[in-house]
Amino acid sequence: MTDFKIVLGDITEAKTDAIVNAAKPSLTGGSGVDGAIHKAAGPSLLEECLLLELHEGIRCPVGDAKITNAGLLNSKFIIHTVGPIYQDYSKPQELLRSAYVNSIELALRHKCKSIAFPAISCGKYGYPHDDAIDVAISSLKPYLNVGIDIYFYLVEESLYKKYVSKLGPARMDI
């Protein structure tokens, strides 16, 4: 693969080696993508997350990534990453970039050949969509030719259309 694939659909249905969970720092599930992934993966996901090392109530700092098995999902792994709450940081783009890069690097270390990303920080974390898409693309572009297929799974049609607009119509869903 030499380009991104954009899918209008539910990331919990991705048939990739890894899916990325836009998680909260506790890794205990939540709303949006995080809640959907925890629900679809089943209770073993929460059990595995709770085994990860805890530092002052945090299992995964903003911009970092952790990996677990995928439970009942079609993927092998779930990579949990915490994107920034846009208004809480003076340079949220650096943290968002770290979330993408740390996630794909973790996938590569686990020999993943495909990975599905949601739109990290674009929901209740309030990241402006156009800026978030630019960060996602620029962060992941260096990985297009290293042996891993990169997918963006988007459930909101308006966000899907923004990705297609930025990347071009030739990169539409599978």
Is 51 within 8 Å of 33 (Cβ atoms)?
Answer: no
Q: For this structure, is 34 an active site residue? A: yes
34, 88, 134, 149: which one is catalytic?
A: 34
The helix (H) or strand (E) run that includes residue 78 is: strand 77-81
Q: What is the distance between the alpha carbons of residues 21 and 118, in angstroms, rounded to a whole number?
A: 7
Cβ count within 10 A of residue 29: 18
Cβ proximity of 18 and 69 under 8 Å? no
Catalytic positions: 34
